Amino acid sequence: MSGAATVDSRHRQLGLTDAEYQLIVEKLGREPNEVELAVFSLMWSEHCAYKHSKKLLRTLPTEGPAVVMGPGENAGAVDVGGGLAVAFKVESHNHPSAVEPFQGAATGVGGILRDVFAVGARPIAILDSLRFGELSSQRSRYLLDRAVAGIGHYGNSIGVATVGGDIYFEAPYEHNCLVNAMCLGIAPRERLVRSAAAGVGNHLVLLGALTGRDGIGGASVLASAELGEDEDKRPSVQIGDPFEEKKLLECCLELLDRGLLESLQDLGAAGLSSSSSEMASKGEVGIDIEVDRVPLREPGMEPFEVMVSESQERMLCVVEPARLDDVLAVCARWEVRATPIGSVTDTRRLRVIADGEVLGDMPVGALVDECPLYDLRPELPRVPVYRAPKRTLSQEAPAADALLALLRSPNVASKRWAFEQYDPIVGARTVRRPESADAAVLVLDHDGGEGALAVSIDGSGRRVACEPYTGTVEVVLECAANLACVGAEPLGLTNCLNFGNPEKPRVAWQLSESVRGLGDACRALGIPVVGGNVSLYNEGTEGPIYPTPIVGMVGRLLDPARAAPIGFAAEGDAIALLGPFAPELTGSELAKLWGLDLAPLHPVDLDAQRAALDLVRRGVREGLFRSAHDVSEGGLGCALAECCIEGRIGARIEYYRGAEIGKAPEPHMGWLFGEGPGGVIVSGAPESLQRLAAEAGDVPVLSLGEVGGDALVMAAGAARLSIPVEDLKTAHSQGIPDLLT
């Protein structure tokens, strides 16, 4: 590389600004060569350096009594008793999935699995949170079909249960779909391992698949710039092999069980560049990498290509010389390729070497810790950022028609079409299958523990777009309510923040307000943030996606048999609405069907919400409820319909609210279909609910009616409806399949 013009053109093509390039020159004391510039461009990319979000993320609460590993490791981990820890994390693979949805989604699953077993935990469950454009779009139907197939292919093949998730369809995701994958795994607490490299003179060993050109710059480059319509980036998407990963998983866990590894790191975005430099930074050491020793899939790869390749199913470990032969023997037994490719040094530098020649020599601190961090310039948008949705339902439609339309709408309709492509029970830990309960429940007795885990993943782009702070608070509350409905106490939270271009003031405002809401909600509920991911630049020629913070939460319950299902269970059971539920049509699914613009949300009383969650959790744990289901998309009407559908039994409901709802366009429609946090529908023996109401204190407990019959019969203000459960089920189950045919 020679000449200022060539250098200028090269660093801009790699996503570095002129000022960033000059800073690199200052830190090196010279101009970087081709290898060094490639490594710096990825390490200083948004995806790896979080340069527009790190300052915000530092404001989140990260400490709690159960926290074993917090942010900074491959996955966070919490103590679940009995000497066990649960590791979990959520990450995005958005841009690759928009380019090649099958492999993008599949390798997103593969990557999050490696994050979990990189800390020594055996993966036991996958959840996914997906966003696409409207299903009227051929492109969105294609992306949905292939992304779901990719998730099922990888998870089913490797033998890890996919136990939950969510899927939403909105116009702003048309050109920037979101594929967020969450994994949780379990391990003896003492087996957890960190990624810091240690021990000068120790070997650096590369495990797993061959290194190829597939995936070069994939996740890191694609996730650090807006997608253009005319760019063919399909070659940048990684190719996954779940069978190779299964061998790698078992091999790594055996190596850790036998105490043969000093540290272990996943090769994800930026490949060897990020894994080696991050290990060196955490261990305050240096690393030499001999790129000519890296096993290649394709001959003739340049050294910089080897360093930045994002080929899948690879891990990097540090091994003491005396243990190298034992490590190689274990790898041979599992048929996992293992190659010593370097060593730990005391230089605090990352050196790239081939045939004894140093091709790159970079300070580890400059690569990992000294990337420039930027202050956002948030501004409240003065004009609407998003167009009003197309009206598909008249505001004059009667309540029964509105309920059936909502149940058919893709955001409310059953996602069974997708879940049936996943294996939710492999591993024999699953107590509640997808859509049978508000959270997935996984027993711990297989691993020598007691009780069970509960896990949920949630997000609501439209309501966050209405008001990023309040909408994000609601996302955390929704996830916590899902756990409460199965009797689980939250132990920790992970998140993936999916936003547009943070260099634009309106997106900077969305991101800043959302992180503020996330932090306030977590502090109010006492839930530490143990890790997460940020996916920015989800924006194209049509504008940004809805701001979409995805929250994954893990909790513990004592008795999995008492984890309440969604469905009503017995004729004559009483039905009640618990919590400070104040429904509003703003940002609701009904408002979307009516074609209404986004508008501000009502503020949330977090103290009242926490008290309600405590009451729900206590009621489940004491066995007072035969069912529990939080009110979310589609409001009370849809939540009740889902309880009837899942239980295969009807209900008779009378619901009246105070005058505070009277400002809505149609008061009774707001009561039936308005949305907001704080509402949980419970059913049980009348005496059980009476006891709960007597002990509820300041938490509202509103009697709604009783279970029975073969229809949902409702009266709410001036609204009346009576719909057979079979008709509810047909609308709910066929909503998505009918749009795909």
Active site residues: 47, 93
Cα gap 310→213, rounded to integer Å: 8
Secondary structure (3-state) at 97? helix
Cα atoms found within 13 Å of the Cα of residue 714, Cβ hemisphere only: 29
Q: Assess contact for 110 and 97: CB atoms under 8 A.
A: no
In 213-348, which ranges are E strands? 263-266, 286-290, 314-319, 338-345
How many CB atoms neighbour CB 57 within 10 A?
18
Cα atoms found within 13 Å of the Cα of residue 698, Cβ hemisphere only: 6
Place of tokens 């994958």: 181
Cβ-based neighbours of 641, under 8 Å, separated by 6 or more: 403, 407, 634, 712, 723, 728, 732
Bridging pattern class, strands 314-319 and 263-266:
antiparallel
Secondary structure (3-state) at 424? coil
Strand partners, 354: 357
Q: Assess contact for 598 and 386: CB atoms under 8 A.
A: yes
CA-atom Rg of the chain in angstroms: 26
**What tokens were used for 218?**
């994939």
DSSP 8-state assignment for residue 648: T
Q: Assess contact for 157 and 107: CB atoms under 8 A.
A: no
366-393 CB burial, b ≥16 within 10 A, e <16: bbbeebeeeebebeeeeeebbeebeeeb
Phi-psi region of 635 (alpha: psi -120 to 50; beta: other; left: phi over 0): left
Cα atoms found within 13 Å of the Cα of residue 466, Cβ hemisphere only: 27
How many CB atoms neighbour CB 463 within 10 A?
27
